[in-house]
Each structure stands twice: as C-alpha cells, then as structure tokens.
Amino acid sequence: MIKARIGAGVFGLVALASQVGWAQDVETGEDLYMHYCATCHGIDATGQGPMAGVLLIQPTDLKSLVSEDGVFPTARVVARIDGRDPLVSHGSPMPVYGPYFEGRDTAIKTHEGQPILTSQPIVDLVAYLKTLQKD
C-alpha cells in the first residue's frame, strides 16, 4: 500500500513537472531580446546592432540559426545564453546573461525531445528566437 502511494506520488510529480516546464511566452522573449540582445545582434536580429562595429567577432545573424535540415539548435542557443558554451568576442566572452535570466527552473525540449534544464526567461527568449527564423 505504501509503495503504491509513493509510486503514485512520484508519477504525479513527474506529470506536474512535465506540464509546468514547457510553457513558452514569445512576447516576454521579445522584450528580453530587445533589452539584452539587440545592442549587438540588432533590432532586426541580423547581427548588425550598434555595438557590432567594435566587436572582433561579429554577432550572429539570429534569423538563420536553423540548420539545412530545418532543425533549430535549442541546446546550443540555451548554452550560449546561459554561459555553458561561452563565445569569445572583443577579446572576452560574450556577456553571459544567465544570471540576469534567473527564474523558476524549467525545461525546454530539443528537436530530439531531450529536456534541458534552464530558467523560464531563457525558455521565453528561445521561443522568440524560433519565431525569427527565415523560411
């Protein structure tokens, strides 16, 4: 009887966690982008922001992140934003905004269905970046 209750409780927690973690807010993501990313990547996300001219490595065109097979690189984008995969530009790493994007821990799925633990603001930002991809 106790094992059944524990099993049901664990199942309930897993089900709740899977529902909570997948909500994405594109509008919030756009607001975050404009506040933190547009200075380098540009308002239009093409990599031509006002700071681009002083950077040794030019900012990425965020409208062309999707690979040739149509896959958005969710894991790589999350890792760049939160600092797990630092990028060097202007002699130092790209600003790591992970600490600014703290929030409730949540998960985002890759194309393959692999969950990545991150914060809700990063989930929202990635959702916005996905909307910018060229057809």
CATH number at residue 97: 1.10.760
Q: How far is CA 45 from CA 36, 42, 132, in A?
A: 12, 5, 8
User: Cα angle at 49 between 131 and 97, to 5 degrees?
Assistant: 70
Residue 102 binned pLDDT confidence (cut-offs 50, 70, 90)? confident
Number of structural domains (the chain) is 1
Q: Is the pLDDT of residue 73 over 60?
A: yes
Scanning 51-119, the segments in alpha helix (DSSP H) are 74-82
- What range defines the domain where residue 127 resides? 2-131
Backbone angles phi, psi at 90, to 5 degrees: 55, 35
Q: What pLDDT score does 10 carry?
A: 43
Q: Which residue has the tokens 């060097």?
A: 88
pTM exceeds 0.85, yes or no: no
Kindly report, residue by residue over 7-61, the tens digit of the pLDDT. Answer: 444 444 444 444 444 578 999 999 999 999 999 999 999 999 999 988 888 889 9
Closest CA to 87 of 45, 53, 55: 55
Q: What pLDDT score does 86 carry?
A: 73
In angstroms, the CA 23 to CA 1 distance is: 35
- Across 41-45, 69-73, 87-91, least confident range: 87-91
